[in-house]
Structure 1
């Protein structure tokens, strides 16, 4: 039950625990064992390789133009990116290879980062450039084609047009601001084009010159076109630009802020004032179609664990995890294309505001809903979002408050869902006395004295509840019609349908199986038939049923001596209410000045189906 994204532990008390990550956390080895992802670079055979990664990644060690290559050897597919000039020997920092590509007009580093599912290559502009900036990266592919997506990103497709690798719309990111009221760092746009034919193409990257020249842009600036061979299932989005980031090493969640200049003029004299606006940040985490196979299981507990750090004031911080209720993917995710969520099962906590701390959310109810077939699409993470339009004019607007949780691409402690569950009880054994026949799950008896025994075993030792339904116990059982033989033999005389066996003490029984008209027969044999008014026929739990509108619908039964109950009584009904507010009358026996007895349902005061009796029973 182990995989690269989950593992399951079985305990002596028969409960199981499945831990699932939002992407590959381990890699299966040829001998069937698993190794934890470790993207630390090491030098082998004149190139750099991550120690343990999901896909084959090879990074150049300098001395030529080779930058990085992704390989799917088993499928004969590869994707290689080169630099237009010979690269120097890189500096190695963990999973990063850093090349100094500075020129007289540009002070910059080329950084290649090994990821669990691919690589990212960034150009870090250390200083504001003195002229136009454009990068042209030769691309070599085998069995794949690089192209642009409608959303402005990049994709690699195979010969059949299937997407095997993708990248969200490239962007630029300025250096983190030291001002808590202007964080996290802002993004700039990149014009990306793919030119040439499959196999020999060029990736053209043109950073927005206005963003680079803006006096408020903080350097260094990172230019980031990233390609990942497998789809990770975590990303974060921001309201200011609307963009999603699925390849960042962190998931930013909370509220950031940014300055925007406002121009005010008095006559010919103009001034500019920086005003602060909110930048809301949300994270999305998925764990596959069925997190650890919990569908249909009895979930005892479930926890979502996130590891990361917090930035900002510790006052008024909250974190909410809500179930996602529609499908999504990291390629199409954006602020305007967010998946739907529900508050059912959502959890809000006040996490720690420290660094490198574990944030745990109790998502037991969420997991139980998934287990019951509620649809498993992952979790949305967000904080309180103050959407007031008066934000920019606040005299002391709040500072940025957000968490940065490690993502799958960080190569360390990605989001993890841990579910404890129990195996279901064994299928019960059913035995009975006076049972004439079995039809599917129905036991048919022609007597009112029936004994049915159920036996099963629950692994947790808890008592088991059984639901036994008795349908129209007094309705005559129809006799199957005999199909005439094709021979000229005489047709058999049909046997009369047996009459219903009277149940001692039963004074009224309504199966409501007529299906048409207003007559409602009494099957008890005492003649207390009813007349329907304002009702409609519908499909019931068994056979037909009557539908009541909750106001004027009813079945009227004339008074009779048999209905004037004076001692112990049993009243029961099978109903499917569309609302349980107020007092919902099911049965009412009226008297001259009061109600004699009634059966109703209500949740007022915490009471559920109840019965009342008062006054004379005439």
Structure 2
């Protein structure tokens, strides 16, 4: 046993040495010790001192200050981006080609009594305004009037398409030489007492019976809504009295104000025979045609003194016409005014320049235009007229002027006629003159289109916008002794027409506040809905965006706390759009 004692003592020494090594590291153990004492094993070193002493730690007991956020490391900025500013600029001039007979197509739904509208390939429309009806109403809508004469399936002729039916006999001696069917079993038929059995010859819408009386031919022309009867006298020896037996079904004639009115049982006017007149080859006109009802016949008497005047130039045309009454919304009127003579209706002729030594000017009006094109954009206007006679084949200038005063076609006006403004356009031409000894013209009858230009376009624009009354147009010539021109009137087969190219889109734009009221980046909860701009359709530019107006204010500053509520930014006008 004595041998084992040294071994135990050695193990205890090793334990003491190991403990000493630990004490040397400054750990304070459970055996006491303090400042100035031996270094015993202990916990983490504590800094000692009074609160007022320098270097004392700050903060509350149990320091709970949170570390700075990433946002808190940077200063708050005021956001003042550059303002957006909107302006209205003048758009580039639109290039339009207008009507092209090869590519433009009619718009049947746009028809009305006095006009026809075509769609052009450039997006515009062209409306043809006539001074006589061009369409008639049916149960299926408006249909084009076709006055051409076709066979009636027997031996006579009839008009092709119209609300009024017209039938013509093959010979002039037939008791029912012509029949006008006004509808509802109401008819007017007439013949010419003592007429020869001359056979009629048809050309387009006109049938001619030659030699019905000595020195007299009879022409019957199908017109929209009626028939025009013309006695053509080739000599002063022609008769001055003519009797037309009437055969009426459901109608009663009455002479009112120089014209014959045909009324139904309720007293409603169904047809009229307007007061007649005479026109010689030199365009001299006379109202010396009187009517008298004798039983069931109409007696027509001509002014023999006027016919036998040495100044008369034959042939002379005598015009009684049977037609449907004109509605209050007929939309057309025409006349001419001559110096020293006065005014006359322009149904047969429209005189311009110096005619038979008298300065002359014509007036024509298309009253349906404003109602048809109200507030449309106007791109152009052209006036079309047919010149059938002139004083020479040397071109003479005419002008088209806007009429600035109210007028009604017919008598009662003296030269120079209702007031006009500055000329819109001019053109020089000559048609229809037949030189002495020649049987035909070197400048035959033709239609002329007069482009009214920018001034005419602007005039029509003012009409349809309601800025200026539509008093129509005046066609005028020079005072040159050979400047006389004869144009076909509103009651002929080739009446004046006005072609207007337009678009139904017509909008103007303004921005009351050129700086939009920005609505970007306002603080909202996650459920907030962003405001949307008001989408407004305008006739000119569909889908125009309108923004609210008002003073512009900077957006609110963003919160600086990291625990601020989440925001849902409101998009800017540009982003929303």
TM-score between the two structures when normalised by the length of structure 2: 0.59
How much has 1:86 moved relative to structure 2?
A: 5.7
1:306 aligns with 2:385: yes
If each structure's strand is expressed as a fraction of its own residues, which one has the higher value?
A: 1
- Judged with a 3 Å threshold, the aligned counterparts in structure 2 of structure 1 residues 425 and 185 are, in CA distance, closer, same or farther, namely closer
Aligned to 2:224: 116
Residue-by-residue CA offset, 1:175-197 (whole Å, 9 max, x unaligned): x2xxxxxxx4212343413325x
| CA displacement 1:507-541 (0-9 Å, x = unmatched) | xxxxxxxxxxxxxxxxxxxxxxxxxxxxxxxxxxx
Residues 188, 461 of structure 1: alpha-carbon distance in 2 compared, 3 angstrom cutoff: closer
Structure 2: where are the runs of 5+ without partners?
1-109, 432-444, 520-530, 552-577
Give 1:146 deviation, angstroms.
3.3
Question: Does the CA contact (< 8 Å) of 2:517 and 2:547 recur in 1?
Answer: no
Per-residue displacement from partner, 1:188-226 (whole Å, max 9, x unpaired)? 343413325xxx533221111112222232222222222
Is 1:398 the equivalent of 2:481? yes
Q: Cα deviation per residue 1:518-572 (whole Å; 9 max; x = unaligned)?
A: xxxxxxxxxxxxxxxxxxxxxxxxxxxxxxxxxxxxxxxxxxxxxxxxxxxxxxx
Residue 68 of structure 1: aligned partner? 178
Contact 1:39/1:411, CA 8 A, preserved across alignment: no
Of residues 301, 315, 339, the one that matches 1:220 is 315
Three-state SS of the structure 2 residue aligned to 1:219 is coil
CA contact (8 A) 1:237 1:334 kept: no
8 Å Cα contact 1:323/1:380 also seen in 2: yes
Partner of 1:366, secondary structure, is helix
SS in 2 for 1:146: strand
Q: Which residue of 1 aligns with 2:366?
A: 286
1:58 to 154, 167, 192: 167
1:350 aligns with 2:427: yes
Q: Report the structure number with the largest CA radius of gyration.
A: 2
Matches within 5 A, 1:216-615: 216-231=311-326, 233-239=332-338, 241-242=341-342, 244-248=344-348, 251-258=349-356, 277-288=357-368, 290=370, 293-309=372-388, 311-313=390-392, 314=394, 317-323=397-403, 325-326=405-406, 328=408, 332=410, 335=413, 340=418, 342-343=420-421, 347-354=424-431, 355-362=445-452, 363-374=456-467, 377=470, 379-384=472-477, 386=479, 398-405=481-488, 407-412=489-494, 414-425=496-507, 456=536
Q: Distance in 2 between matches of 1:310 and 1:133?
A: 27
Residue 38 of structure 1, aligned match among 147, 155, 159: 147
Given that residues 277 and 320 in structure 2 are in contact (C-alpha distance below 8 angstroms), is that contact kept between their aligned partners in structure 1? Answer: yes
**Which structure's relative contact order is higher, taking Cα pairs within 8 Å and 6+ residues apart?**
2
**1:134 is aligned to 2:134:** no
* Separation in 2, partners of 1:335, 1:41: 42
Residue 87 of structure 1: how far off its partner (Å)? 4.8
Q: Could you tell me how far 1:382 is from its partner in structure 2?
A: 2.2
Q: Which ranges of 4 or more aligned residues in structure 1 deviate by more than 6 Å?
A: 426-435, 451-454, 462-470
Shift of 1:433: 7.0
> Counterparts of 2:176 and 2:380 in 1: how far apart (Å)?
50
Q: Give, in angstroms, the shift of residue 287 of structure 1.
A: 4.3
Query: Does structure 2 retain, via aligned residues, the 8 Å contact 1:189–1:207?
Result: no
Deviations along 1:275-303, whole A, 9 cap, x unmatched?
A: xx315141323242635x21122323333
Question: Which position in structure 2 is the counterpart of 1:82?
Answer: 191
Q: Following the alignment from structure 1 to structure 2, what is the Cα–Cα distance between the partners of residues 192 and 341?
A: 33
Partners of 2:121 and 2:222 in 1: how far apart? 40
Distance in 2 (alpha carbons) for counterparts of 1:204 and 1:461:
64
Give me the whole-angstrom Cα distance separating, in 2, the residues matched to 1:9 and 1:58. Answer: 32
The answer to whether structure 1 residue 185 and structure 2 residue 283 are counterparts is: yes
The residue matched to 1:370 in structure 2 has which SS? Answer: helix
Superimposed CA distance per residue, residues 80-133 of structure 1 (whole angstroms, 9 cap, x where no aligned partner): 222223651433141333334556xx3322222222231122222222217x62
- Residue 212 to residue 300, structure 1, CA distance change in 2 (3 Å): closer
Q: Secondary structure at the match of 1:216?
A: coil
Q: CA deviation at 1:459?
A: 6.3
The range that moved more, 334-343 or 370-379, is 334-343
Equivalent pair of 1:288/1:377 in contact (CA under 8 Å): no
CA distance 1:243–1:135, shift in 2 (3 Å): farther
Q: Give TM-score, length-normalised by structure 1.
A: 0.55
In 2, distance between residues paired with 1:229 and 1:322?
Answer: 31
Inter-partner Cα distance in structure 1 for 2:386 and 2:198: 34
- Judge conservation of contact 1:38–1:411 (CA < 8 Å) in 2: no
